[in-house]
Structures are given as structure tokens and as C-alpha cells.
Amino acid sequence: MGPLAQAVAPSHMPIVLRPLLPELILVGTALALMLLDALRPTPDQRPFVLLSLAGVAGAAAATLSLWTWKGPGSVLGGMIAADRFAVYFRLVILAAAALGILLSSYYLDRAGEARGEYYPLLLFATAGMTLITAASDLILIFLALEILSLSLYLLTGFSFRRLASAEASMKYFLLGAFSSAFFLYGIAFAYGATGTTNLAGIATALASRVNGDALALIAVGLLAVGFSFKIAAVPFHMWTPDAYQGAPTCVTAFMSAGTKVAAFGAFLRVFGVAFLPLAHDWRAFMGVLAAISIIVGSVLAIAQTDIKRLLAYSSIAQAGFILVGLSAGTQAGIQSAMFYLAVYAGTVLGAFAVVAIASVRGEEHTALSSYAGLARRRPLLGLALTAFLLSLAGIPPMAGFIAKVSVFSAAVQAGSWPLVLIAVLASVAAAFFYIRVIVLMYMQDPAPEIEGVRIESDPAGWAAVLAPAFLTVVFGILPGLLFGLLRTASVVRF
Amino acid sequence: MESYYAQYGVVVAVLIAGIGLVAVAFTAARIVAPRRPLPEKLTTYECGIDPVGEGWAQTQIRYYIYAFLFVIFDVESVFLFPWATIFERLGMQAVVEMGIFIFILALGLLYAYRKKVLQWA
Amino acid sequence: MTSTEVVFVVLSAVGSIGAFRLVTSKNVVHAALYLVLTLSMVGAAYLVLAAGFLAWVQVLIYVGAIVVLLLFSLMLTKAPIGREALDNQQRGWAALVGAGVLAGLVFLIQNAFGSAPRIQIQPATTSEVGASVFANFVLPFEVVSVLLLAALVGAVVIARRDERP
């Protein structure tokens, strides 16, 4: 009998599916949508939107019920973690998905791109995102990463008649596949170094080593590169501006929020659990990654003339700020990064929602010059975008300010004040381009060719703008609401 | 361990015999056959008709879809082999596991069929 | 050297030559055929290492399906790339990166396993793989079906004819 046989006796563990219920609901809804689309094709998109929203709501309810989960910390043979960490991330992702669906129904109607394949793909992507935050085995994390990536490549190229969309999809796919290879290679090295792919098992194996060996360090490096692609940290950010600009704006909104939250969730779990024994080695790496992401993202954002590209570079810089919290390597660091992620998700989603509405029928008016005088033409839209931009810049009383402060204070406590110095200077510089857009909206007259363009909006579109705007202000004034949850949710158990 | 390699002995023998057969046949033909090349003899044989254009032709995207579906179901079939060896031991559990797997993919095939990507016209 | 090691070295040498020709070949169809050679040699190496199931998966999926997909996508392109020069200006960089990866891997494997005791190769049978997949890795196995389904929907999205006027 070979070595495998000793490890695998046919097991009769009780099958506990409740911690997996959110994903089961999401996939089940996606299957139902596919059947509906295949068997009863209808040009009317409303049943699809309503069914998707119901699926996301059901998944959210199932997730909420897990908050008081008393069962074992990991189920299904150590594959799925049933901790509040996963609950928190899933809720953020599901909220982003719900807003993304609303925005999509608004956008696709007007862009004339409404087709039945859209919502199943969106739900597959959401299921991949929520699964990755709960997965506690590298193989499962990889599969979830592939599900979410594959669906997002397709959504990015969904309006493939528009050349930019097809191009964005292609670039995203090629670089994404490249990063998957890094990730897979990292898994192979991790298995080679420890003999297991289970996160807790890896931690146990590494903790018993006297000195860290090169194999495990390479695994850490390769996995970090794989994650860095997904969170769009410099120097693995090349796909971001093109993909964000080319994708249909509703997809951009959903993926900029969802992918980053999901990838960071898995990032935190893998490095906070499996590679915690090597924390001393990877902290510096994260710090460097954070610093260059902040600097490059902020500097390049200044030169942008297209609002979608501007927000893409901004999201690169934001990934850097979140990494600052991660590089602290402490409980406070994880907590602040988690707060930052929720705030970032809401803010960027709302900002792209404004772009989707203001650019009328898709992608026509995304140049920054089209935003001149927006606040006069549509005061509420202008006000919402102002709130989002101020939050991204980290100016009080918006939630982004609290997020930045908490990340910085965690890093200072951990002793990495040079990193914080760089981050503070860069955020001062970055404030320039956010405020430039605000000035443009309030102080300048609209360009003549844009003046007559009517911006229409419907309740779904408004919901996707106003809900995040409301949360951005509320969490800015009452951050305790979220931090209260985070005290228990930031404990990664498995 | 010896018995493991021994069971592939036949495979290696067939491989060597196959390569040998082709090598011998071609070498024999080269030695025995007369060679008088003419331009007409050297053209590509296309059922007796003069070949037109180049050997390279752009294929339709449809072929790609079939190739892609083939890959998907190829991956599925790979899982059937280890499943077949253990399903007696695991019993009902194995049947349910594979049932779910095949059900989900069958749903995909139904979807592709209803979406008319399997039709040629 | 044992006879197993001799066979392994020969297989890896042939595979490496194939890999080298794969990247230096100026004809993409030839490159694809060299890929077949390299992938087959990897499969044969699995066989020598007594991972029979893995070897046949390598043949079925990689040599069979993936290369077919690759050739189809080559044939989709319009240009008669068969004879055209296929090269760009980054040979130097590519060679440098390749040499770097080689050096890194040699160091790593030496560092990690150089001092480890020799292990006896034991065959991993298909039923052991099956027991592992269907008892311990059930969830990833089911997730694979969802991944394949998402890929299938993607194929439908790309292949669909335009239904709008």
C-alpha cells in the first residue's frame, strides 16, 4: 500500500452543510437562472433581477445565521471555516453583489446589453468570492479563485461588440491566468514544504520547524504574488486600469469592490493562519508592496483624464493602504484592514455607480471633462460623488478618514512608522486629484456638447448610489458600529 | 515495485515494436523503391484534383466550441476512473457524490443545447 | 545510478529538448507538436515515478485535449503562420528569466531535499487516488463541477450568434 492509503480511510464524519449554505444558495440560484434562461427565454430582465436579488438575500440570511454558530470551527474535513471572519467578509461581498445587481439592471437596460447569461455569471462570481473567504484549504481557495476569476473575465468582456470591452477581457484573462499559475506553483511548494494543503496543517508543520526553510519561503512569495494580482497591488497591477475602463461600468463597480474584498479575505486567512509562523519574513514584503502600491497608484492617478481609469488607479493605491494594515501583522492591523475593506467596497461601488448613471447609456461620457458642472446639472449625483471622492481621499467626516487613521495607527503600533510616513505623504498628494474632480463638478460650466445630454435614472440606479453614500457617511460618523462587530470577527480561527 | 514496472513491460514492448515497424517499412521502401521525382509527383495528393491555395485554412469558430466542450467533458471523464475503482467500497456515498457532479454538468449540456450552440446551421 | 534513474534522466533530457525547441521554433505548428513531446515526456516521468493515474491524466487532458484546443485556436487565426517567422525582441530577457528560474529551482530542490534520505518509490494506485478524492476532497471535487459549468456558460456567451437585429 502506498503512502496515500494510510491517510485515507473512508470516513463517516457527519456532513455539516450549514456553514456552506450561503454558497449553496448562490449556486442553486445561478442554476435556476440558467434553467429559466434556457427553457423560458424572455427579453424581460425583471425576473432575472428579482431572482438574483432573492438568491443574494437568501445567502445573506444564511450567512447572518452563522454569526451565532456554536458548532466546530471548521467543517467538511477542515475545508470550510465556520468563523465570524468568514461571516463578515461574506456579508460585505453579498452587499456589493446586491448593489451590483441593481446597478446592472439599470445599466444593461440602457446599454442594450441585457442577455440571459449575465446574472448566472454574476452569481457564480459572487459564490466564488464568498467561498474563497471561508475556504481553509489551499486547493479549495484555488478553485474558488478560479470560479470568481473565470466569471469576471467573461463579465468584463460581456459587451464584446465594444472593442474596449473585448480587449479588457483579453488582458484581464491573460494576466489573470498568469497569476493563477503563480498561485498554483505556490500551493505546490507549500505542499512540498509541509505535506499538506490544509491551512491549519501548514501552520502546525511550519511552527515545529526550528529554522524556516527556503521551500516554505518561496511558497509564501508565490502565493503573495498570486494574491497581489487579484488585489491589484503594484507591480502586479497592470491589468487593472484597462480592465476597469473597458468592462461595462456595472461590472467594474461589482468587481472592483467584490474581487478586492474576497482576495483580501483569503489573503488575510492564508497569511494570518497558515504562514503565521513565518510572519517575520513576510511582513517586510507586505510593507514594500504597500509602499509602492500607494506611491505608484497615487502618482499615476494624477495624470488620468478618464474617470474610470482615475478610479482604477485610486483602487490600486487603496490596495496599498489596506496592505499597510496587513503588514502590521497584529490583531489591530487585521481589524483595521477589515474595516478599510468594507469602507472601500462601499465607496468604490458607489463611485462607479455614479459613473454608470452620469455616462448615459453605457460608456459615452467617461472623460473627466464631462464631469464639469455635474453638480449643477444633477445636484444629488454630484453630492454623492463628492462624498465618495472625499472618502477615498480620507478626508473627515467620511468613513475613509477613519479607515486610514485606523490602518496607520495599527502600523505605527507595530513599529513601521517609515511606511506610515510614506502613506501619509502620498495620501496628501492623492487628495489633489480627488479634489480636482470635485472642483470640476462644482466650479466649472458644463461643456457645450454635454449640456443638453439628459441623465435619466431609475430607482435601481439610485439605490446603487444612495445606499453606499449613506453608509460612507454613517460609518464616518459612527465607526463604532462596524468596529463593534470586528472585535470578534477579526479573529481567524482556521 | 518490480511488479509495478513489469506491468508496463508490455506497453514498452508494443511501443518499441511500433516504432520499429514504421522505421523498417520506410527504410525498406527507400532502399527498394525507384526515385524519379517529377513536379507532378511532388504535388499534394487531394483525391486526384489539383490542390488549390495553401495548406493553411482558417477554421470556423464553431470548431473551437466543440473542442472546448470536449475539454470540459474530458476533465469530467477523468474523474470517473478513480471513482469506478472505489465506488464499491464507498457505496451510496460515492454514487451521490458523482451524481451531483454529473447532474451539474448535464445541466450545462442542456443549457448549451437550448442555447443552440450545438447546432451547426 | 539505478535503472529507474537512467530512464528518468533520458525522459527528462528528451522532454527538455522538446521544451527548448518549443520556444525557439519559428513555426507555431511545430511548436505545438514539440509541446506534445514535452508533455508526453512529463507523463512518462510520472509513470516512472509510479504515479500511473497521474500519467494517464496527463496524456488524456494535456496531450489530448489541451493540445487539440491549442491547434484549433492556431487554425482560427487568419495568417498562414506556418512559415512566418515567429520571434520578437525579448529573447535576451526571456533567456535571462529562464536561467534565473533554473538556478532558483536547482538551489531550492538541493536545499530542501538534498540532505533528505533516499525514499523508496511506492506505486500510488488509481483506487488510492479515488479514495482520497471521494473521501477527503469531496468538496473541491464538487466545486470543480461548478467551475466547469461556469466555463461552459462562458463558452456559450462567446459562441452565441448575435440575436439582435
Strand partners of residue A137: A198
CB C57 within 8 A of CB C130: no
- Spatial distance between the Cα atoms of A64 and A21, rounded to a whole number of angstroms: 11
A4 touches chain B (CB under 8 A): no
Question: Residue A51 pLDDT > 70, yes or no?
Answer: yes
Counting residues of chain A whose pLDDT is more than 90, the rounded percentage is: 60
Give the B window 43-102 contacts with A, CB below 8 Å: 89-90, 93
According to the model, what pLDDT value does residue A493 have? 62
Choose the closest CB to C82 out of B56, B69, B112.
Answer: B56
> Residue range A123-138: average pLDDT?
96
Which CATH number fits the domain that encloses residue B34?
1.20.58.1610
| Nearest residue to A292 (alpha-carbon basis) of A315, A316, A273 | A316
Tell me which range, A364-373, A482-491, C9-18, is most confidently predicted by mean pLDDT: C9-18
Give the type of residue at A11. S
Mean pLDDT (10-residue bins), chain B, 121 residues: 83 93 94 85 78 72 81 90 87 89 92 83 60
Over its C-alpha atoms, chain C yields an Rg (Å, rounded) of: 20
**DSSP codes, A319-377:** HHHHHHHHHH-SHHHHHHHHHHHHHHHHHHHHHHHHHHHHTTTTTTT-BGGGGTTHHHH
> What are the tens digits of pLDDT across the range A143-164?
999 999 999 999 999 888 888 8
CA dihedral over A445, A313, A138, B96, signed as positive or negative: positive
Q: What are the cell numbers at A482?
A: 462596524
What's A278-326 look like in SS3? HHHHHHHHHHHHHHHHHHHHHHHHHCCCEHHHHHHHHHHHHHHHHHHHH
Cα-Cα-Cα-Cα dihedral sign, residues A451, A453, A458, A461: negative
Task: Examine residue B119 and state whether it is found in any structural domain, yes or no.
Answer: no
Pick A365 or A48 by higher pLDDT.
Answer: A48
- Percent pLDDT > 70 in chain C is 90
Q: Identify whether B66 is part of a domain.
A: yes
Chain B 66-85, CB below 8 Å of chain C: which residues?
A: 67-72, 74-79, 81-85
Q: How many whole angstroms separate alpha carbon A475 and alpha carbon A484?
A: 12
Query: What amino acid is encoded at C13 in this protein?
Result: A
pTM: 0.92
DSSP for B25-94, written as a single string: HHHHHHHHS-----HHHHSPPBTTBPP-S-S--PPPHHHHHHHHHHHHHHHHHHHHHHHHHHHHHHTHHH
Q: Is residue B49 part of a domain?
A: yes
* B120: in domain: no
Polymer length in residues for chain B? 121
pLDDT at A409 over 50: yes
Which ranges of A112-248 does DSSP label H, i.e. alpha helix? 118-134, 138-156, 163-194, 199-207, 214-231, 239-246
pLDDT on residue A8: 43
The residue whose grid cell reads 518499441 is: B16
- Tell me the pLDDT band of A5, cut-offs 50, 70 and 90: very low
pLDDT in tens, C76-123: 876 655 455 556 678 888 889 999 999 988 888 888 777 777 778 888
- The count of other CB atoms within 10 Å of the CB of residue B93 is 17
3-state secondary structure A393-412: HCCCCCHHHHHHHHHHHHHH
In chain C the first and final C-alpha atoms are separated, in Å, by 70
Percent of chain A with pLDDT over 70: 94
Rounded Cα distance between A61 and A55, Å, is 10
Identify whether the C-beta of residue A174 lies closer than 8 Å to the C-beta of residue A111.
Answer: no
The model's pLDDT over A113-122, given as tens digits with 9 standing for 90+, comes to 888 889 999 9
Residue A483 has pLDDT above 70, yes or no: yes
Domain ranges of chain A: 18-489
Can you give the pLDDT at residue C161? 56
Provide the β-strand partners of residue A135.
A80
Does residue B110 sit at the A interface (CB-CB below 8 Å)? Answer: yes
Here the cell at position A388 is: 465618495
- Counting Cβ atoms within 10 Å, is residue A45 exposed (0-12), middle (13-18) or buried (19+)? middle
B59 within domain boundaries: yes
Q: What is the pLDDT of residues A229-287, one digit of tens each?
A: 999 998 899 999 999 999 999 999 999 999 999 999 999 999 988 888 888 888 888 99
pLDDT band of C25, cuts 50, 70, 90: confident
Examine the predicted complex and report whether its ipTM is higher than 0.85: yes
Q: A385-415 burial string, b = 16+ CB within 10 Å, else e?
A: bbbbbbbbbbbeebbbbbbbebbbbbbeebe
Distance CA C28, CA C30 (A): 5
Q: Does B115 contact A31 at a Cβ distance shorter than 8 Å?
A: no
Identify from A31, A42, A79, A143 which residue to disrupt to test chain B contact, counting B C-beta atoms within 10 A and taking the largest count: A31
Measured in angstroms, the CA of A5 and the nearest CA of chain B are apart by 12
Question: For strand A74-75 and strand A80-81, is the pairing parallel, antiparallel, or unpaired?
Answer: antiparallel
Q: Which chains touch A (3 or more CB pairs under 8 A)?
A: B, C
**Tens-place pLDDT, residues A438-452:** 998 898 888 776 666
H or E stretch covering A385: helix A379-393
| CA–CA gap between residue A68 and residue A88 (Å, rounded) | 12
Residue A174 predicted with pLDDT over 90 = yes
Rounded to a whole number of angstroms, the distance from the CA of C70 to the nearest CA of chain A is 15
Better-scored residue on pLDDT, B23 or C126? B23
Query: Residue A7: exposed, middle, or buried by beta-carbon count in 10 A (0-12, 13-18, 19+)?
Result: middle
Domains of chain C with bracketed CATH: 3-124 (1.20.120.1200), 125-165 (no CATH)
> Considering only CB atoms, which chain A residues are within 8 Å of B115?
38
Q: Determine the structural domain holding residue B16 and report its residue range.
A: 2-114
Q: Is the pLDDT of residue A363 over 70?
A: no
Domain count, chain B: 1
Report CB contact under 8 Å: B111, A38: yes
Residue A467 near residue A398, CB atoms below 8 Å: no
> What is the predicted pLDDT for the residue at A4?
43
Cell 491566468 belongs to residue: A177
pLDDT band at A310 (very low <50, low <70, confident <90, very high): very high
Please determine, for residue C164, whether its predicted confidence score (pLDDT) is greater than 50.
Answer: no
Residues of C in contact with B58 (CB under 8 A): 75-78
Find the helix packing angle between A84-111 and A480-489, rounded to 10°.
Answer: 130
CA of B111, closest CA in chain A: separation in Å?
6
What pLDDT shows up at residue A215?
A: 85
CA distance A11 to A365: 59
